[in-house]
């Protein structure tokens, strides 16, 4: 029981990171109907910007205060949002009227470009950092096994829930959110009604990149080591989470991220950790076979 509780805590904290990345995938798909396969590498850029900010503040290798962590988070969101805007302007906007495969190929090329750019700029070696948020709370003791809820896991949960709550309010209660939902329903009609669809699409990429930066910062705090390749696997898993929850559904992206995190964690705990990715993707295959729209997705109705 204690071991299962520990894995539940680990799975939820990991799943929240996947959920934040998955929201970016589902936002872009919901508005322009395309998958941004460079989004995982935008998450990686956010992690590196967080690391660089940590080093500039001189807090690497020791505990960091709340103010310093807030500065790291804000810097990562600001710089990574600029990268998201650049991806949209370079890889998507010039090809928006082209055939549907062109932006997909362009996004894959942008993903490779970001990987190699970070590899050249920061080096291919892994970048470790100290434990910035040490300590935790012991929830249970059972036969010599302590169930730990670390402070960094608490921070991940609090920050993720706070960011998602703010994002939900943005989408549901603000003029920008109404414009985003209008573009999602019918982009052409939204443009006829006076909505600047190009601006809305750019802001969608910016917001998605900022959420990915939060995930990158939390990943750095949780694991303390990053490299230029972390965006690929995390991006694939977050895309899997978005499809599992229902591509185009924001609650589905978060739910899918939690499920992927729990599946990966419990499989690693009770079975071979080498096959944890196989388990997660197998669940995705079963879901698509029996529920093609995902858990919370809705059937797409073709407009005529």
pTM of the model: 0.91
Query: Three-state SS for 226?
Result: strand
Q: Is residue 285 part of a domain?
A: no
- The Cβ-side half-sphere exposure at 114, using a 13 Å CA radius, reads 30
Rounded Cα distance, 195 and 270, in Å: 52
Rounded Cα distance, 89 and 83, in Å: 10
Q: Is residue 76 part of a domain?
A: yes
pLDDT of 37: 86
pLDDT of 298: 65
Q: Is residue 121 part of a domain?
A: yes
Give 189-216 as a DSSP string.
Answer: HHHHTT--HHHHHHHHHHHHHHHHHHHH
As a whole number, the mean pLDDT across the chain is 87
Judge whether residue 254 has pLDDT over 70.
Answer: yes
pLDDT of 62: 66
pLDDT of 213: 95
Judge whether residue 301 has pLDDT over 60.
Answer: no
Count up the domains in the chain and report the number: 1
Q: Is residue 20 part of a domain?
A: yes
CA distances from 279 to 8, 23, 259 (A): 17, 22, 11
Rounded Cα distance, 286 and 291, in Å: 8
Q: Is residue 270 part of a domain?
A: no
Q: What is the mean pLDDT of residues 258-279?
A: 87
Query: Three-state SS for 138?
Result: strand
Comparing 101 with 54, the larger pLDDT belongs to 54
Q: Is residue 244 part of a domain?
A: no
Q: Is residue 278 part of a domain?
A: no
pLDDT of 139: 82
Taking each helix axis from N to C terminus, what angle separates 230-245 and 276-290, rounded to the nearest 10 degrees? Answer: 30
CA distances from 83 to 87, 145, 181, 271 (A): 6, 44, 23, 39
Q: How many CB atoms lie within 10 A of CB 197?
A: 18
Q: What is the mean pLDDT of residues 141-152?
A: 82
What domain range is 115 assigned to?
A: 16-231
Length of the chain: 304
Q: Is residue 288 part of a domain?
A: no
pLDDT tier at 47 (50, 70, 90 boundaries)?
A: very high
Q: What is the mean pLDDT of residues 192-215?
A: 92
- Model confidence over 168-200: pLDDT tens digits? 899 888 999 899 889 888 888 999 988 998 899
- Model confidence over 103-116: pLDDT tens digits? 888 989 999 999 99
- Model confidence over 81-140: pLDDT tens digits? 999 999 999 888 888 777 778 888 898 999 999 999 999 999 889 988 878 888 888 888
Q: How many CB atoms lie within 10 A of CB 50?
A: 29
pLDDT tier at 71 (50, 70, 90 boundaries)?
A: very high
């Amino acid at each position: 029981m204690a071991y299962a509780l520990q894995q539940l805590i680990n799975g939820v904290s990991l799943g929240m990171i996947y959920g934040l990345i998955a929201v970016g995938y589902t936002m872009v798909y919901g508005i322009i109907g395309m998958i941004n396969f460079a989004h995982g590498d935008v998450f990686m850029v956010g992690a590196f910007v967080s690391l660089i900010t940590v080093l500039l503040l001189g807090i690497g290798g020791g505990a960091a205060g709340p103010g310093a962590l807030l500065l790291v988070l804000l810097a990562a969101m600001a710089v990574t949002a600029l990268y998201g805007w650049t991806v949209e302007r370079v890889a998507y906007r010039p090809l928006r009227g082209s055939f549907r495969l062109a932006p997909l190929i362009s996004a894959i090329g942008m993903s490779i470009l970001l990987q190699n750019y970070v590899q050249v700029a920061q080096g291919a070696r892994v970048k470790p950092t100290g434990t910035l948020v040490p300590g935790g709370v012991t929830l249970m003791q059972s036969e010599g096994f302590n169930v730990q809820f670390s402070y960094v896991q608490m921070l991940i949960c609090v920050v993720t829930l706070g960011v998602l709550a703010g994002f939900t309010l943005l989408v549901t209660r603000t003029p920008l959110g109404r414009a985003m939902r209008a573009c999602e329903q019918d982009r052409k009609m939204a443009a006829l009604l006076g909505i600047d669809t190009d601006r809305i699409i750019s802001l969608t990429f910016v917001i998605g990149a900022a959420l990915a930066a939060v995930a990158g910062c939390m990943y750095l705090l949780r694991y303390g080591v990053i490299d230029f390749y972390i965006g690929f696997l995390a991006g694939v898993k977050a895309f899997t989470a978005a499809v599992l929850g229902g591509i185009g559904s924001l609650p589905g992206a978060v739910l899918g991220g939690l499920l992927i995190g729990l599946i990966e964690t419990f499989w690693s705990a009770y079975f071979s950790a080498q096959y944890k990715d196989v388990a997660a993707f197998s669940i995705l295959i079963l879901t698509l076979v029996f529920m093609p729209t995902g858990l919370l997705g809705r059937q797409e109705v073709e407009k005529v």
